[in-house]
Chain A
Amino acid sequence: GENVEQHPSTLSVQEGDSAVIKCTYSDSASNYFPWYKQELGKRPQLIIDIRSNVGEKKDQRIAVTLNKTAKHFSLHITETQPEDSAVYFCAATLPPTSGTYKYIFGTGTRLKVLA
C-alpha cells in the first residue's frame, strides 16, 4: 500500500525566513497531494493542494512543488510569520478503487516561527 514519509518532524525558523517541508510517497499511482495546517486542538485546514498533472502551484506565500519521477513533493512557506506556527501534514491520495478516495497522511511537521 501507499506510504508517506515527512521531514523534518520539527522546524524552527526566524520570522521572515522561508520554511520547507518535504514528503515522499511510495505508490506512483497517487495523483492528489494536499497539505493541511493544524493548530493545537483544532481541525486540520487545507492550505494548498496539487494534482499529479501539475509540477508547481502557488498561493501568495505558500507554494507546493511535485516531482513525480522522484515521488516527492514539498511545501514552501516564504516570509514566515508567527501565525504560521502549527503542525503541517502532507497526504497522498490514490485514485479510488471502490469509488472512494483515501488519504495517507505523513507524520507531521511542527513548525515554530520565532519572532
Chain B
Amino acid sequence: KNQVEQSPQSLIILEGKNCTLQCNYTVSPFSNLRWYKQDTGRGPVSLTIMTFSENTKSNGRYTATLDADTKQSSLHITASQLSDSASYICVVTTISNFGNEKLTFGTGTRLTIIP
C-alpha cells in the first residue's frame, strides 16, 4: 500500500481558474516533501521542497503548504494556464534508523486545463 496518497486522481478546470491538489502521507519519520510536475511522456521537474519547519513555499503561480502535524500537503495553482496540464507528484522522504533516506512517490494527480 502506497503511503503517500494524492487526491483527486484527476482534475479538469477552465483556464484562468485556481485549483488545489492534496497529498496525505503516513510515512515517518518525516524529512522533507517535494512536489514535481510531469508532462506527458517526459521526466518530472521539481517545483518545491519543504522541510519539517516550513509550512509554505512558493514558486511563481505554484504554492505548496505543509502541515506536518496532520501529515498533509497541498499544491495550489493560481490563474491556471494551458501549460499547467500535467501530472503533479508528491514525494515524501523518510530517514531510517540507520540514517538512510527513502523516497516514497505518490501516484500523482492528472490536471487538465481546458480553454
- On whether the two chains bind one another, the answer is no
Chain A positions within 8 Å of B, measured between CB atoms, are: none
Instruction: Name B's A-contacting residues (CB within 8 A).
Output: none
